[in-house]
């Protein structure tokens, strides 16, 4: 009932923006990437995981529908990009992919 009242009160506003599907790209395949990725479907987000081939495919398979995996070198996209890589790897990654 409250949902219907909000929908009527805010046509084209906040409610519609919250129901739009976002795409989140998570860079990395370790425990931090997994912890971030498992929450994304609850927030109505598609998940793209970027990393080394075998771990990426395993993580995407584990997450199921709404998750896709890609190898390093694939163009980085998404409305949100999250780095889930070890601290020493951040600078080389940003130097290589920062233009995207």
Question: Is 22 strand, coil or helix?
Answer: strand
Mean pLDDT, each 10-residue run in order, the chain (100 residues): 45 48 84 85 78 84 82 84 89 84
pLDDT for the residue 100: 79
pLDDT for the residue 21: 59
Name 78's Cβ contacts closer than 8 Å, sequence gap at least 6. Answer: 22, 23, 24, 25, 48
What pTM value is reported for the model? 0.71
Measured at the CA of 17, the angle between CA 59 and CA 63, to 5 degrees, comes to 10
pLDDT for the residue 2: 41
The owner of tokens 């129901």 is 19
* Alpha helices per DSSP H over 1-100: 2-9, 14-19, 31-37, 53-63, 87-97
pLDDT for the residue 29: 86
């Amino acid at each position: 009932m409250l949902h219907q009242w909000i929908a009527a009160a805010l046509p084209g506003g906040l409610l519609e923006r919250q129901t739009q599907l976002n795409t989140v790209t998570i860079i990395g395949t370790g425990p931090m990437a997994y912890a971030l990725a498992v929450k994304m479907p609850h927030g109505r987000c598609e998940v793209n995981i970027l990393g080394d081939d075998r771990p990426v495919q395993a993580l995407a398979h584990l997450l199921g529908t709404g998750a896709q995996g890609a190898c390093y070198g694939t163009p980085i996209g998404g409305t949100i990009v999250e780095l889930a890589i070890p601290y020493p790897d951040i600078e080389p990654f940003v130097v290589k992919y920062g233009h995207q």
